[in-house]
A and B are shown apart, each in its own frame.
Chain A
Amino acid sequence: RKEVEQDPGPFNVPEGATVAFNCTYSNSASQSFFWYRQDCRKEPKLLMSVYSSGNEDGRFTAQLNRASQYISLLIRDSKLSDSATYLCVVKSGGGADGLTFGKGTHLIIQP
C-alpha cells in the first residue's frame, strides 16, 4: 500500500459546483497534514493545513479522519482559477524530514 494515495483524476467539474476529494495515508502515526496546490509547471503552494477538528478557509474545507486514515478537501462554489493539481502532504515521524507527498489530484473547472 502506498504511503499517501490520491485519485489522480482528472475531475472535470462545472464552474460553481462543489467538489471534494480524499487522500488516504498508511502510517497511523502520521502527525501533520497539509493540502498544497500546484499549477502546471509551477512549484507547490500551501493551500491549508488540516487540523484534527477540521478547518475552513473561505470556500475550502479540510477534514481529518484518523480512524479511517484519510483527509479530505472540499471546494465550494468552484472558480475557473481553482483548476490545478491538489497535493496531499503527510508528515510522519519526528525530525526535519518525513514529509510524504501524494501524486496529486488534477482538478479542471469548466466554464
Chain B
Amino acid sequence: GAVVSQHPSWVICKSGTSVKIECRSLDFQATTMFWYRQFPKQSLMLMATSNEGSKATYEQGVEKDKFLINHASLTLSTLTVTSAHPEDSSFYICSTSLSGNFGYSPLHFGNGTRLTVT
C-alpha cells in the first residue's frame, strides 16, 4: 500500500496565485521529507529537504521565499508555490524513507502533483 500520500494530484492555476501541496506519511513518522521537481524528459531535481520542527534546507538555485515549506508535524509536510508563474509548471513530488537511514534505504514517493500555471 501507499506509504506517502500527496495531494492534490494535479492543479491548474492562474499566474500570480499560490498553490499548496500536501504530503503525508501514512502510518509512520517522517522526520525528514524531500521535495523534488521534475520537468518533462528531465531527471528529478531535489528542491529542498524538509525537517520536522526546523527550517527547511534548500538546494542551490531554489528560492526559499517562493517555495515555502512547512513541516509542522511528523506526518505532514507542505510545499507552497507562491505567486506561481508559467515557468513553475512542473511535476512536484515528495518522498521520504521508512527507516530514516537515507543512505541505504530506498525512498518512497508521493504520487506527485502536476502543476500547470496559465
Which residues of A line the B interface, CB within 8 A?
A: 4, 8, 31-32, 34, 36, 41-46, 49, 87, 89, 91, 94-99, 101-104
Contact = CB atoms under 8 A, between A and B. Distances in A.
B1 interface: no
B103 A44 contact: no
Contact of A97 (B49, B108, B111, B112): B49
A56 B32 CA distance: 30
B41 A103 contact: yes
Give the size range of B's interface with the partner. 20 to 34
Contacts of A34: 106
A97 to B, nearest CB: 6
A8 B43 contact: no
Contacts of A49: 106
A-B CB proximity, top 8 nearest: A43-B109, A96-B102, A103-B43, A101-B43, A101-B44, A46-B106, A43-B112, A43-B111
Given A41-B112, A43-B111, 8 more contacts: A4-B43, A31-B104, A32-B103, A32-B104, A43-B110, A46-B106, A97-B46, A97-B49
Nearest to A46: B106
Interface of B: 6, 32, 34, 41-46, 49, 57, 91, 93, 102-104, 106-112, 114
A103 B104 CA distance: 21
Nearest to A48: B106
A41 B114 contact: yes
B102 A97 contact: yes
A101 B39 CA distance: 13
A42 B111 contact: yes
Nearest to A2: B43
Contact of B32 (A4, A32, A96): A96
